[in-house]
Structure 1
């Protein structure tokens, strides 16, 4: 079975892609080389060693990173990723995209990202807790509610954030709920945070389909990646009337022309650990090239690339993951008339509700689930309208329009603040 979660084999990486997008935006905006260099380079980054005592008594050394790309508009904000593929350039790229995402959605943060090179599937919960607490201890001088606020990402969850918050709080001598978001609700988390990224993806996906004259009710969709973002996105698309005909994870892909029963797929994954083998679905060789109205890449970077973009048949591609489409693929898809909704717009729901969680924690006053959802929907639709109007006015692809709007907002903040002597 062919996995659909492998990025293209290429010398380029996500940092090259992020800087290519930034270069195009600064050129359009007329910014000089000095401003480009400032925005292309993280303000601060740290690499730490994490000695881990395994449950069997052995000691293992892991490597972790935290990159703060920019904080001209406010404290840095970004997820913490546990993955065997973590490297510093990937974290730098993800931090940069977080800067643009926060600016585009008018959230008063800069961008950050963290990662530990580890495959969490091979470690016990107790071992992952020790990794998290040691990592937090090492980066604690850089984080805090007014400095840098981590959140869950690939391989981490609300338990990770609880451990991080507790470790930081113990060092400070008092409970600091605002140091992390994506926490359990009983520890200052926000209602709606766990599904926020997926809900945001679906809000803009439905708007994107309508913009192409496609009625979402009865439209077909394929969702690549069935983790925290992809599984909920598939569920919410199905609830909106979209026929989800295929889903995939790192082990393979399944499909059904009649549409998959997503709650049943979720139950199968809970039991078997993968979508593979779902009895009411058939094996799919290449989910990315299926003939569907909507494709949602919701896994890792670089899965739509120059080698397969010509075969992508979806009319609308909505990026649930960060950086799933390379610049070369963007050019190919644009030439073929495909609509690509960029990650910094499409998957911004998570950072929006993280911002809501941070606000609630700082005020010690929590909102209802309906309030969170209404405010999230308003932010997403407002950003969609703004980006599409800007793209139409300047005849730009959505990614270029979104990046220009975000970069301009960050650059203005930087220029207004000036350079520290």
Structure 2
């Protein structure tokens, strides 16, 4: 782990994390990477669901599986874990005591669940008016779907993402397709981070916290970006385009003589350069193809001609020529190739961390590069309840009191 270099941007901010799985933990890991002290509250015995979402699991020094799933490890570094039974009144009292010492609370319980334990936003903000409470659910705190459980896969379908992901319906392999990673969860985690930082700025100015209502479905719709705007401007729902782009041509995967590449022409000047490299300068002069709008309208004519030209050379030949001319392009890497890429390595996008069960822990690093307050990697993803005694001691509990709570299984 890196040693502290300077105060971090969120040093002094304390976050009580009652979330689990991905959207909430992704949010709180980002806050933790930026220096916040994140206290991860987990249920005794099992902890965060993702601890068991394997294989793969972290390997120990002998190469055997540990108890820690790679899924869990990817979203929970820089946190401290305390195991508390919130169904127990004494556990609820501990949560309230922790909340009085925190600036932020993040939770992803079903709507109304925390109120059953007396841990809802209204109750906690009554004892700590400056507390920022961020609630993350599938469908939000209001609306006819508020009581539904929200899972990323279902949200991708309901929110329209699967209608624009995958091969065209009229081609082999066409049909609904989810994205390869839980993007609704991840985007919601990031939007939640932004909202929390805004609420903290308001709290610092006024002394008052607030409640943030984050929904996966809302985020899913927001992240459709230009596709959502396309629909709202035209009234026509866009369909699946496979590896092609709805609004730009040529902007898709093409087959070379020995593999595939991505050609991502973003403007007419880049298209003219590509045409020179392809030996077809006439394309750039053809009124059907000269402007992007023309190319989009006539993609069914142009794209097959480009495909035939690209198939005559190797991927290396094309990438070398295109990169030299500054025409956007790229290889299609698997993850092993991506992490081995010299540029990715130069950007230090992996980090090794010390872990109680293994000397082999390597994680994807934060992409946030701050010049004055850089991300620091202080704690490996914690074991379940690893910091229970430490955090209870910080609350002022004595060793006998902590032991008594453990004996009663209020904490673990």
Could you say whether these structures have the same fold, taking a TM-score greater than 0.5 normalized by the shorter chain as the test?
no
Higher helix fraction: Structure 1 or Structure 2?
Answer: 1
Rg comparison, structure with higher value: 2
TM-score (norm 2): 0.29
Q: Which has the higher contact order (CA 8 A, sep 6+)?
A: 2
